[in-house]
């Protein structure tokens, strides 16, 4: 018998999974996206929505579902595209058979995201039509075309990102400053785009700096601001210590600006990273009006550093916390409450390690009143000799705090680091593109590294020495200015304790010594 072949025709549409003779409309949705919030793009966004609504409804074989939209959202990933995610969920739930969109780049600029979504929908028999490229994803060559077009869209996005990054860094190099004004306390945007002082908010900034220099901690300042009903930089009623610390360390309040503190690591994920030296930074001096004078700003930075190194000495709970030292064991006094539940309740100060050592400290406890009396006694003796103290400092200050040699060497070292850094980058780049003798390369690169490390170590030591001298100078000048202002003192004042006294040392009731901020020690 001769072999025969009979063709059995397909009766189910591979596009709709329905019998080919069943006249059922495909449930069709549109997807529209624009990547910025500009007015021009908004017009484009509205036009896309209107176009796909009319386009889908005009087809007899399509049933309109909805036009899903994302406005002002990038297409490099799907993380924040709520309209896109909602459309995908509806499609996988069986409510959509076909998705119509303008182009591959509107759908996704990330090749992986694009292919993953297409395959996910394809498994459920859901098709995507890219109008500009005329690609139907259920077509046999659809995935190949999608891969090519998605890769091109991703490359275009990378190119745009690099151009934007270059433009931003060029702005930084030219000293053009931008800040998030809606979350930046103290300044508004001026007509020229630069910073102008907001008087009401500037008063809050000045108050924060003042409270910190009076001894309060960032947490204590945050609690005070919250209790007083002052709105935070983000417009919230509750402050936190991080917001206060950010204000205390932001150089823009002294009229300067450090640019490129962070940068975008990956244009697809938009992940940002703190700049720790990977790319250049730019420091712009006198860019805008200052709210805090440079001297006060520098004083706050030194106080922050001192508190960070004091290993728990500083406390903002009480003005005497971390300011009274035990002359016997060297530890700090802390407050203790006696008779806490009866009418004899009182607070005293004693050595925190009084009973923690094998040998009990014999230094006495003190009341608030006794501490104040000791300080007033020492302050009156200091004021009696204030003319001699001021005169002695005026004679010695130019010699004792001469920074000219240190600053000259510092500037030379900074230039040296810039030169060596550029030579190192050139060396690495040359080795990456040209076949060099690796022994010779390592010798050359090692010499540059050694030169760089030597200059960097010396610069760090110089910077520390300059900072210490400036801190000492600023502390003494504040002390002397306060001393010049005083003619006499009749009662204890918190401000004078903070501005003049460094700490008190207690040996016994007959030997209490006050060390003032100029280094003078007076026994009372």
DSSP string for residues in 469-484 = HHHHHHHHHHHHHHHH
Per-residue model confidence (pLDDT) at position 76 = 45
Q: Is 347 helix (H, G, I), strand (E, B) or coil?
A: strand
Give the best-scoring range by mean pLDDT among 282-286, 297-301, 467-471.
Answer: 297-301
Q: Which has the minimum average pLDDT: 248-257, 268-277, 385-394?
A: 268-277
pLDDT at 161 over 70: no
pLDDT at 466 over 90: no
Name the average pLDDT for the chain.
78
Do 372 and 492 contact (CB within 8 A), yes or no? yes
DSSP 33: E
Arithmetic mean of pLDDT, 53-75: 82
Supply the pTM of this predicted model.
0.47
Residues 6+ apart with CB under 8 A from 473: 397, 401
Arithmetic mean of pLDDT, 93-109: 81
Per-residue model confidence (pLDDT) at position 454 = 92
Do 512 and 505 contact (CB within 8 A), yes or no? yes
Bridge partners, residue 346, by sequence:
338
* CATH 3.90.1750.20 placement within the chain: 181-309
More confident: 377 or 431: 377
In angstroms, what CA-CA distances link 34 with 74, 271, 394?
8, 21, 67
Q: Which has the minimum average pLDDT: 75-79, 156-160, 391-395, 470-474?
A: 75-79
What's the pLDDT band for 115 if we cut at 50, 70, 90? confident
Domain 26-161 has CATH 3.30.70.260: no
Per-residue model confidence (pLDDT) at position 195 = 79
* CATH 1.10.287 placement within the chain: 324-523
Domain 181-309 has CATH 3.90.1750.20: yes
Arithmetic mean of pLDDT, 150-167: 58
Arithmetic mean of pLDDT, 197-204: 89
Each residue of 67-81: pLDDT tens digit?
998 876 554 445 567
* CATH 3.40.50.1390 placement within the chain: 26-161
Domain 324-523 has CATH 1.10.287: yes
What's the pLDDT band for 504 if we cut at 50, 70, 90? very high
Per-residue model confidence (pLDDT) at position 90 = 92
What is the separation of C-alpha 504 from the centre of its chain, rounded to a whole number of angstroms? Answer: 38
What's the pLDDT band for 109 if we cut at 50, 70, 90? low
Bridge partners, residue 264, by sequence:
272
Going by DSSP bridges, is the β-strand pair 521-523/272-274 parallel, antiparallel, or unpaired?
A: unpaired
Do 501 and 483 contact (CB within 8 A), yes or no? no
């Amino acid at each position: 018998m001769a072999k025969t072949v009979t063709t059995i025709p397909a009766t189910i549409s591979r596009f709709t999974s329905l019998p080919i003779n069943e006249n059922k409309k495909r449930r069709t949705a549109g997807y529209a996206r624009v990547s910025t919030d500009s007015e021009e793009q908004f017009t484009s966004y509205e036009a896309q929505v209107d176009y796909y609504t009319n386009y889908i409804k005009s087809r007899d074989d399509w049933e309109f579902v909805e036009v899903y939209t994302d406005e002002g959202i990038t297409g490099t990933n799907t993380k924040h595209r709520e309209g896109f995610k909602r459309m995908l969920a509806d499609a996988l739930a069986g409510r959509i058979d076909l998705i119509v969109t303008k182009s591959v780049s509107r759908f996704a600029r990330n090749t992986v995201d694009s292919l993953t979504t297409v395959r996910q929908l394809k498994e459920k028999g859901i098709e995507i039509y890219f109008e500009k490229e005329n690609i139907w994803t259920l077509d046999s060559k659809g995935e190949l075309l999608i891969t090519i077009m998605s890769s091109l869209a991703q490359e275009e996005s990378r190119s745009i990102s690099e151009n934007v990054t270059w433009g931003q860094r060029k702005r930084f190099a030219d000293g053009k400053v931008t800040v998030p004004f809606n979350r930046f306390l103290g300044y508004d945007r001026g007509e020229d785009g630069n910073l102008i002082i907001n008087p009401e908010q500037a008063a809050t900034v000045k108050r924060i700096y003042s409270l910190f220099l009076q001894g309060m901690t960032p947490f204590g300042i945050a609690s005070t601001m919250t209790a007083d009903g002052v709105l935070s930089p983000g417009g919230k009623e509750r402050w936190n210590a991080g917001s206060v610390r950010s204000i205390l360390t932001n150089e823009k309040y002294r009229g300067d600006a450090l640019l490129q503190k962070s940068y975008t690591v990956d244009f697809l994920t938009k992940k940002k990273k703190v700049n720790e030296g990977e790319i250049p930074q730019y420091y712009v001096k006198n860019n805008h009006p200052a709210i805090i004078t440079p001297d006060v700003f520098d004083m706050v930075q030194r106080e922050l550093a001192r508190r960070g190194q004091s290993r728990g000495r500083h406390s903002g709970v009480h003005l005497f916390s971390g300011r009274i030292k035990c002359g016997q064991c060297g530890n700090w006094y802390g407050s203790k409450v006696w008779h806490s539940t009866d009418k004899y309740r009182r607070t005293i100060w004693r050595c925190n390690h009084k009973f923690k050592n094998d040998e009990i400290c014999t230094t006495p406890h003190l009341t608030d009143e006794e501490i104040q009396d000791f300080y007033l006694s020492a302050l009156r003796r200091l004021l009696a000799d204030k003319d001699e103290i001021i005169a002695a400092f005026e004679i010695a200050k130019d010699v004792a705090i001469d920074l000219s040699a240190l600053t000259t060497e510092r500037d030379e070292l900074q230039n040296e680091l810039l030169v060596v850094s550029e030579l190192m980058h050139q060396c690495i780049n040359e080795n990456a593109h040209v076949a060099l003798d690796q022994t010779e390369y390592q010798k050359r690169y090692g010499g540059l590294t050694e030169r760089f490390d030597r200059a960097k170590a010396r610069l760090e030591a110089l910077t520390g020495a300059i900072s210490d001298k400036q801190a000492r100078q600023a502390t003494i000048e504040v002390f002397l200015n306060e001393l010049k202002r005083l003619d006499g003192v009749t009662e204890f004042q918190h401000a004078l304790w903070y501005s003049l006294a460094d700490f008190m040392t207690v040996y016994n009731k007959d030997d209490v010594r006050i060390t003032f901020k100029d280094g003078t020690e007076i026994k009372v």
